[in-house]
Structure formats: structure tokens, C-alpha cells
Amino acid sequence: MRTAEVAGLLLAAGEGARLGRPKALVEFEGERLVDRGVRMLEEGGCHPVVVVLGAATVQVRGAVTVRNPDWASGMGSSLRVGLAALPEEAGSVVVALIDQPLIGPGAVRALIGSGATGLAVATYGGRRRNPVLITRAHFAGVAELATGDVGARPYLKAHPELVTEVPCDDYGDPADIDTPEDLARLQPE
């Protein structure tokens, strides 16, 4: 069995209320957002990739899927479910969000290659965004503070001395797809 040094975790459980359909089902440049996110994590060096689903159930090639029965409570519960589903041999995980399709695998590689021994966060224009790398020593602490529609941010803020900021401006744009207008604006013509 292959050793899973850095796993990937794609949070894809939401219903996409403002978008009008679950983001896991949305196509962007001819590819579902869920498949695009899995591909980004795999090409960035993550194995295995775990996808947390909730509002929609979809088949995802190349990934382990887990269901968050409490998906409607927000991203925090999906992060907790995903962290709990990671294999024991995963020493760290790169967490990505399904609704940022312009972030490329280079951001994942940059996080993995940063040498961070605790936490690493991608920055764009000096602002912290996603993806985020979390080492196993911090899984429990991140999970404890991930509530409602908040993921790892409270833990990162509580432990600034452990966070390595990794500039990822060259590896994509962290723009979110939250509305039909966002999708139309970001989708190339």
C-alpha cells in the first residue's frame, strides 16, 4: 500500500443556496467543480484525496467520498468529518474548497514544499485564503474550533506562531463561485 504522506481534502457538501444548486454538480470549463478540485489536489501531490459530500451525492473518480450528515450546519462540520476520515498514515492534509476553480495545483505544491511544520496557508495579494495545509498534530485542535460556517480560520488566528504564509499569486486566483453571476463572470467565454 502506498504511504499517504500528504492527503487532500475537498469540502464539497454545501447546497449552493445562492447559486441555486449544489456546487458539486456545477460544471466549469466542461468539468464538474468536484472533479476539478480532486484533480487539483492530486496533481498538486496529495494522496489520497477525500471529498466531503452532503447536499448532493455524486460519484467522484479518483477520490474517497464521505458523507456529512450534518452538512446544513456549515463548513465546520464538513471539515471535522473530513479530518476524521483521513487515513492514519496521513501526516498532513491540504484542505481545499470546491468553489475556487481558478486555483491551480501549483498552490498545493507550494504549500507542501513550504517546509511548514505546523500550518501553512496560501496567500494572494498578501491576504490569507485557501488552500490550507494542516499537519496531523493540529487536526484535533482545528476540528474543535471548526463550527458553523467556519473552517480552520479560528485555529489559525489562535496560533499565529505556527502559521507559514505561502504566496500563491502565481498559481491562480482565489475567487469564489457563490452566485450565478460569479459563475458567469469567472467562466471563460
Does a structural domain hold residue 1? no
Q: What is residue 189's predicted lDDT score, i.e. its pLDDT?
A: 64
- DSSP string for the chain: ----SEEEEEE-----TTTTS-GGG-EETTEEHHHHHHHHHHHTT-SSEEEEE-SS----TTSEEEE-TTGGG-HHHHHHHHHHHS-TT--EEEEEETT-TTB-HHHHHHHHTT--SSEEEEEETTEEEEEEEEEGGGHHHHHHH--TT--SHHHHHH-GGGEEEEE-GGGB------SHHHHHHHS--
17-30 confidence digits (pLDDT tens):
999 999 999 999 99
Q: How confident is the model at residue 152 (pLDDT cuts 50, 70, 90)?
A: very high
pLDDT score at 115:
87
Is residue 74 over pLDDT 70?
yes
Question: What is the extent of the structural domain holding 46?
Answer: 6-186
pLDDT for 188 equals: 74
Domain count, the chain: 1
pLDDT value at position 4?
Answer: 47
Residue 2, pLDDT score? 42
CATH of the domain at 57: 3.90.550.10
pLDDT range class, residue 1, cuts 50, 70, 90:
very low
In the predicted structure, residue 58 carries a pLDDT above the cut 80: yes
